[in-house]
Amino acid sequence: MEKKIKRSHRKYDLQFKSEAVNQVQSGRSVPSVAKALGMSDVVLYQWVKATSSTSKEVGSKETDDLRKQVKQLETERDILKKALAIFSRAN
C-alpha cells in the first residue's frame, strides 16, 4: 500500500517577495538569497522573472510617452524656426 505524501505550499506576503527580489537585483545570486531565506530557488527565479517583465512593460510605456513628447517638441521647434524665418525677411 502506497502512502500519499501531502505537500504543503508556503505562502509568502508581498513584502517578503519584494525584499527577496531586491536582494537579487542588488547583485546577490538567486541560490544564495533563496538559501538565506529558506526557500526554493526555483520560486525566487519565478519572482525575479515576473518582476523584470512587469518593469519592462512600465519602461516601455514610459518610453512611448517620452517619444510622443519629443515628437511634439520637434514640431513646435520647426514651427518656431519657420516663424523666425518669416519675421527675419519682413525686416
Domain region containing 72: 14-90
Spatial separation of the C-alpha atoms in residues 14 and 21, rounded to whole Å: 11
Tell me if 64 is assigned to some domain.
yes
Q: What confidence tens digit (pLDDT) does each residue in 54-66 have?
A: 766 667 788 888 9
Angle subtended at Cα 27 by Cα 36 and Cα 22, rounded to the nearest 5 degrees: 70
Q: What confidence tens digit (pLDDT) does each residue in 6-20 have?
A: 666 788 888 999 999
Tell me if 69 is assigned to some domain.
yes
CATH code, domain carrying 35: 1.10.10
Tell me if 6 is assigned to some domain.
no
Tell me if 7 is assigned to some domain.
no
Tell me if 63 is assigned to some domain.
yes
Number of domains in the chain: 1
Which residue has cell 513628447? 69
| DSSP one-letter string for 46-87 | HHHHHHHHHHHHHHHHHHHHHHHHHHHHHHHHHHHHHHHHHH
Evaluate if pTM is beyond 0.85.
no
